[in-house]
Structures are given as C-alpha cells and as structure tokens.
Structure 1
Amino acid sequence: MTSTESRGRSRAPGTRQGYAVLDVETTGLDPYRDRVIQVAIRQIAADGTAESDWETLVNPGAGVDPGPVEVHGLTSADLAGAPLFRDVAPAIAQRLAGRVFVAHNAPFDWAFVAVESDRAGVRLEVLEWLCTMRFAKALALEVPDKSLATIAAYYAVEQLKAHDAGDDTRVAAEILLRELADADRVGLMLPLVECNTSRDRLKRTLRRWFSRVRRPLH
C-alpha cells in the first residue's frame, strides 16, 4: 500500500465526507481464522464535528470460542443473542462509505472488518485509512510507546473501559481530533494510506481461500 499526501483536514483527499473511527474486539489476532465479536463506529465530519455513534456485539457463530475473555470481557453467553456479522454488515458499510477509515492500529481493525465484510458479500466503499498510532509517530510525540492508553494520557483523554469497542472508539476519535489539530499547526501531511483497491480485494479473496484449504480437519 502507498501513502497519499495531504495537508491539514481541509486538503486531505477523501475527507469530504469526513472520518469513520472504528474499533473491533475479536476472538483472536488472525482475520482469516478469527472473528469479530464487537464493533463500534463514530462518524466525524471533515470539520471535526461529531455526527453519530453506533456499536453492536456480534455473534461469531455456533461453537466459536469468544477468545481472550480476560481481555475483552465478552463471553459466549454475552454474544449468544447478538446478530451475526452478515446481519450488521450493510449498516457497517453504510457508516464507512465515502469516509476515511480511522483506527488505532488501523491495519488490524481494517483487516478484520474487510475480511468479515467479504465473507458477508458486502463491499466496503473505503479508499483510505488513517492510523492514529502511525499519526502519533509522524507527529513525533514524546511518549514511551504508541499504545492507545499512552496516547490518550498524552492528550489528556480519559479512558473508561479499555478493550471495549465503544469506549476505545470514543478515545481514538478524541485522539484523532487532537492529532489533526497538531498536524494543522505544524503543517504535517496526513499519513493517509490507500486501501481496498481491486488488488487488495483479490489478495483477501486468495488468502481466505488458502486459509480454508489449510484449516485442519477435526
């Protein structure tokens, strides 16, 4: 993937409709084998105005282990009555459409949402993502690490419930606004990254296929 160059919020390509800040909780770390169990999206206009908040639990499917409950706190019982990803995929696509996809560690969240949407047969109309972690590096923030908690503390954003998609999305959105303001102040090009090209979609399709072929029989 290649970075696109932009300067400030008003000049960033693709930000005409603003940003969609997203966070997911998952059953594991591999988007081709693991599943999304919670997703939250906060829409922000190009001028920084908050537009909407949305979140849902997601049932990963019958018999699927919820993964590290000690991290995200979600048990099979919590997820049993939740919709499947395919049931919420159209709503997710609508909230992302035409916006810059934003997340803290965006490659991780984008991979899960993109692969899950592919499984559901729903195409995401997203062209670029912006990672608040990489943004912090581009701004050369003087912090010991670039974790969400550390960057939140740097910008005095209160984190209420770590590893909850709703709260993590709120925190990431607040961080984004502060990073955008800092970028405007110093004249920094936004570290936007092109995503979801036809080549990217083909790669995801092939990896999904190979993942199914290589999955061990039980």
Structure 2
Amino acid sequence: MKMIYKLDFLKSETPDFTVFDLETTGLSNRRDRIVEIGAVRYSGGIITDSMNEVINPGIPIPPSASSIHGIYDRDVIGKPFIEEVLPRFLNLIAGSVLVAHNASFDVGFMRKALGRAEMDVPEIPVLDTIALAKAAWPGRRSYSLQNLAVFLAINVRKAHSAEDDSRVCLELLKKGLEVYRKGSVNE
C-alpha cells in the first residue's frame, strides 16, 4: 500500500476505487486493534461491492473508544477475528485504488493487522481524500470528514461508523473528482 502524492493520474484514468474506513480500540496501530471495517468498491460510476464487518479485536475495547464509535465489548462477542476478515477485504480491494480519509491512519492499522496475520501487504495505490479536498477546496479551516460533509451537503447517518464513514468518504471522493476534472484544482 503506497500513498499517491500526485493527483494527475485522475485526469486521464478512471480507475476502480475502494473507499474504506476503520474503527479501532485506540490511536496506536502498535498497541490497538481494528474493531470494524467498512469498504465500498466503486467502478464505472456505480457501487459494485461493499462490506461492513464488526471484528473481535481480541483485547478489551476502552470506554473512550466505545464512546466514539459505539462498539462495546458485548458487541464483539462471537464476531470474527481480523484474520478471518482480511481475505475478503483483500479480495475486495484487488486491482483498485484504495481510498481513505486521513489514509495514513487506516493504512497503518491495516499494515499492522496484515503483519500480525502473517499476510503480505499488497502493492496497491492509496489516495487520501484529505489531499484531494485540500486541492479542490483550499483554505478551509478544517478538513475533517464531518466538517467536509457539512460543507458539501453530504448526509451523515452515523458518524464514526466504518460503514457510514466509507459512504461519506465515497461521496467526498466523487465531489472532489468532479472539481478536479473540471480543472479548478490547485495541486
């Protein structure tokens, strides 16, 4: 998973995108674990596949994390462990550009999870929608997903839910690409 720093490929290509978001037990990918994966595959202007999976992290979920994403220890009892979910996620993202908001956070957790599961990290391009938003709408006070959703009139159903954040991020990507392809983006 390698970050894309230049957006110029978007002018000539319309790749498949897989927009994803993670919810975690905390902020450290060394110590904390994934508790939810949401992902949406977008190809040719339509959603072609998606997944949303609550995951048993194998460690207690701190109350501070639960208060943000609403996933508690009781919610992960009997849920699959990350090793069971990763093959489906890797299949979903194969051949696409991986997209996330603040991608280094989500990609860092995904790399760690793959490493712990002794699975290869795929060589796949990663686009951060923060970079796209900064190019499309420079000078904003905040580039958080929720603030951009308000600015762009994107309906947020449940903030800090991997499933809904993936959907909101996809809408942000589509609006950013529209501005970008019109040529009014500052790179």
Contact 2:57-2:81 at 8 Å conserved across structures? yes
2:168 paired with 1:171: yes
Q: 1:95 aligns with which of 81, 89, 92?
A: 92
TM-score normalised according to structure 2 size: 0.90
Q: CA deviation at 1:122?
A: 2.2
Aligned to 2:61: 66
Contact 2:4-2:126 at 8 Å conserved across structures? no
Closer/same/farther in 2, CA of residues 70 and 98 from structure 1, 3 Å limit? same
Structure 2 matches for 1:67-82, cutoff 5 A? 67=62, 68-82=65-79
Q: CA deviation at 1:48?
A: 2.7
**Among the aligned pairs, what percent are the same residue?**
31
Contact 2:34-2:82 at 8 Å conserved across structures? yes
2:7 paired with 1:11: no
Q: CA deviation at 1:120?
A: 1.1
Q: CA deviation at 1:6?
A: 2.2
Q: CA deviation at 1:148?
A: 0.5
2:135 paired with 1:138: yes
2:31 paired with 1:33: yes
Aligned to 1:86: 83
TM-score normalised according to structure 1 size: 0.78
1:25-66 Cα shifts (integer Å, max 9, x gaps): 000111111100000110011x332111211000011xx121
SS in 1 for 2:105: helix
Q: CA deviation at 1:124?
A: 3.7
2:156 paired with 1:159: yes
Structure of larger gyration radius: 1
